[in-house]
Chain A
Amino acid sequence: MNRALKRRLGGLLLVVAASLASAYGARGFAGRVELRIPAPAFRAKGDTSAPIEIVEYSDFQCPACRAAETPLKEALGLYGDKVRLVFRDDPLTRIHPWAFDAAVAAECAGRMGTFWPYHDMLYDKQGEWVSSKDPKALFRSYAQKLGLRPKAFDACLSSPDAASSVRSDMQQARNRWISGTPTFFINGRRFVGGNQFASLGIHWIDQILKKRISP
């Protein structure tokens, strides 16, 4: 092999090696940029060291999100401490006029220590508040039922902080090209809708856990 050909092949190898290395190196960078604004701790369930992380982008006014709660809860029950769930808001405000207010109310409940019970209540009573003339009054009444102080809850609802936290999630959803809710990311892989989560998502979780067990 002459010297020029060797150099040509060397150049090609260098290009391939640099391509592989940079794709591998970018993994951490892309992850860090993506999670620049982490969700508040109260919107996460499970151990931070759990091998499976499910990030759910959801809209409290969306019927499909409510329906997806069933397979999601089943998965959390099935996999127990192997799974961590992070809830992210993505209220589809164009079609769901009360979704943003509901997300802010849940955010306030979370800041007062009852995110998950309030989250469950919003989905359980979705039919009630969606068809109500004054959903905000119902949001307050749900907070009261959970023992939250009305004045503090109201103060949070009208403060810009809770709303900006929801907006920040909406921006993240936009950055991730989420066009429908619920959208789940299971260790980075996207599953859209409850059915996809229940079938392909569960299969993906099994695959990840199997890989961890096998030597």
Chain B
Amino acid sequence: MSGQLGDWLGFLGRLAVGGALVAAGALKASAPYQEFAVVIDAYQIVSPAASLAIAAILPWAELVTGFCLLLGDFTRPAAAVAGGLVASFMASLLSAKMRHMELPDCGCFGAAFHPSLGHALAMDAALFILAYAAYARGERLWSWDRWAGGTAREQHG
């Protein structure tokens, strides 16, 4: 990626990944966290106690990461965290697929939207690529980072 096109892709990546994380986080954080723990439990990857802890923390992590990306604040760390989150979602979805689990949907958007496991995998794959674009070039255009004192690249040479 080079020049302006790369900057625009980075900006687009920020908006897409940030928007998806904010939507997913807000819809889950607005419900009792035990509801999301039911979803995590159904994947049978972690213990019930861990499900509760993850259910309490993950939606807020998605929200904060998502808004950082939308705003372009701490863009590179936020894009790295977003990439990690999306990769872990893909791993969970793939593991459920490989075990032929019949889950009602991906459970990623709380009770509001219900993408199938396959659709969620495709969406996450696209988000992962966009998270990389945001990591590489997301702070160049309309970012808080730039306004607040220069991008990481500018600061470090």
Binding site for B on A (CB under 8 A): 3-4, 7-8, 10-12, 14-16, 18-19, 22-27, 29-30, 33-34, 174-177, 179, 188-190
Contact = CB atoms under 8 A, between A and B. Distances in A.
A24 B59 CA distance: 13
A143 B72 CA distance: 64
A11 B73 contact: yes
A29 B113 CA distance: 11
Contact of A190 (B27, B38, B71): B38
B112 interface: yes
B30 A27 contact: yes
Interface stretch (B8-16, B62-70, B127-135): B62-70
Interface string B108-123: 0011111000000000
A16 to B, nearest CB: 7
Nearest to B62: A19
B82 interface: no
Interface size class of B (residues with CB under 8 A): 20 to 34
Given A24-B30, A30-B27, A190-B38, A175 B64 contact: no
Interface of B: 22, 25-27, 29-32, 34-35, 38-39, 42, 59-60, 63-64, 67-68, 71, 73-74, 104-105, 107, 110-114, 144, 147-149
Contact of A177 (B32, B38, B63): B38
A187 B150 CA distance: 48
Given A4-B149, A26-B30, A14 B38 contact: no
Q: Which 6 A-B pairs have the closest CB atoms?
A: A4-B149, A7-B148, A23-B29, A26-B30, A26-B26, A19-B63
Contacts of B73: 11-12, 14-15
Contacts of B105: 174-175
